[in-house]
């Protein structure tokens, strides 16, 4: 099982850390790590501030969009069909309707 951190495998992360140690040296490596941590923190703060701003600006529109959701969730095709079929009055079978009515006959036609 391979351990993955930030989408980078543990082996690749080790190689990157060793390369950074070699390039920056032990004196500048702590400063570079601190700079990277500060940059990540700033990006995270900017992203959360943008998310909060979007939420506050778009909340009224989202509220308007959410109003019909309970009605839409309550729609059930089977229940709607049952309700419709219960409301329709029962009709007589077509064979009985045809037998009870006499056809119009014109005696002069023959």
**pLDDT score of 84:** 82
Query: How far is CA 109 from its chain centroid?
Result: 71
Q: Which residues on neighbouring strands pair with residue 8, listed in sequence order?
A: 5
Q: Is the model's pTM score more than 0.75?
A: no
CA atoms of 95 and 56, how far apart (whole Å): 67
The predicted-structure confidence for 61-73, as pLDDT tens digits, reads as follows: 888 888 888 888 8
Residue 101 confidence (pLDDT) above 80: no
* 80 and 86 Cβ atoms separated by less than 8 Å: no
Q: Which residues on neighbouring strands pair with residue 5, listed in sequence order?
A: 8
The predicted-structure confidence for 3-58, as pLDDT tens digits, reads as follows: 776 788 888 988 988 998 899 898 998 899 899 999 999 999 999 999 999 999 99
- Residue 59 tokens, joined: 């909340």
């Amino acid at each position: 099982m391979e351990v993955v951190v930030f989408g980078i495998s543990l082996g690749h992360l080790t190689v990157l850390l060793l390369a950074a140690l070699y390039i920056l040296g032990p004196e500048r490596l702590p400063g570079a790590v601190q700079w990277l941590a500060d940059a990540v923190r700033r990006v995270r703060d900017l992203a959360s501030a943008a998310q909060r701003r979007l939420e506050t600006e778009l909340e009224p529109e989202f509220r308007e969009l959410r109003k019909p959701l309970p009605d839409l969730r309550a729609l059930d095709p089977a229940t709607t069909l049952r309700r419709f079929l219960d409301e329709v009055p029962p009709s007589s079978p077509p064979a009985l309707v045809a037998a009870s009515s006499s056809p119009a006959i014109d005696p002069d036609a023959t």
